[in-house]
Amino acid sequence: MAEQEFRSTLTAHDTLAVLALGANFMDALKYGNLDVELQDLCVLYGDTLYKVSDKSLDMLRDRFTGAPVTDYSLASMSFSTPGNNDLSYRYVMSGTVGSGPAFKLMFNPVKVGENWYLTLKDGSMSSLDKSPNAQVHPHSPAPKPVVLHSK
C-alpha cells in the first residue's frame, strides 16, 4: 500500500533528479572530483536525514580514492517509499563495464518534500535486490515522513 501510494506521486522529474544525483556521484568517482559529491551525501537514521560526519567523510574519501573507477553503468533503479529506494551501479576499476566481473555500488535516494538526497544503502535497509522475504511487505503501512536534521 505505502509503495503504491508513494509511486503514484512520482513524476518524470523525480526520476531525472535521482538519475542525475547518481550519475554526478559516479562521474566524480570516475573523474576524481569527489569532494563536492561527498559533501552532498547524507545519512538516513530512522526518519531523519543528516549530513555525513567529517570522520565518515574521511573514511569514504579513502575508500573511494583507493579504488578509482574507470567505467560504470546503471544497473537498476526502483522506488518504494520516500526513505527507501534503490539506485545501483555496476563499476570496474580497469577497462570498461561489460559482461564480466564488476563491483556494485548501491544508493538509497531519499525524498524530503520536493527534494531528493543521496545516501548509501547499507545491508540493514530493504531493497528489491534482497530475497522477497527480506523486502518490505507490500501491505505495510506508510513509514513516517523523512525530515531534514536542523541544528
pTM attached to this predicted model: 0.83
Q: How many CB atoms lie within 10 A of CB 136?
A: 17
Q: In what helix (H) or strand (E) does residue 61 lie, and over which residues does it extend?
A: helix 54-65
DSSP-derived 3-state class of residue 22: helix
Q: How many CB atoms lie within 10 A of CB 127?
A: 20
Q: Which three cell numbers stand for residue 78?
A: 526502483
Give per-residue pLDDT as tens, 87-145: 999 999 888 898 778 999 999 999 999 999 999 997 554 545 545 565 555 545 455 77
Strand 103-112 to strand 115-120: parallel, antiparallel, or no bridges (unpaired)?
A: antiparallel
Is 2:141 a contact under the CB 8 Å cutoff?
A: yes
Is 146:49 a contact under the CB 8 Å cutoff?
A: yes
Which pLDDT does position 141 carry in this prediction? 47
Q: Which residue has the higher pLDDT, 137 or 85?
A: 85
148 burial type by CB count under 10 A (0-12 exposed, 13-18 middle, 19+ buried): middle
Residue corresponding to grid cell 539506485: 87
| Mean pLDDT of all residues in 35-56 | 91
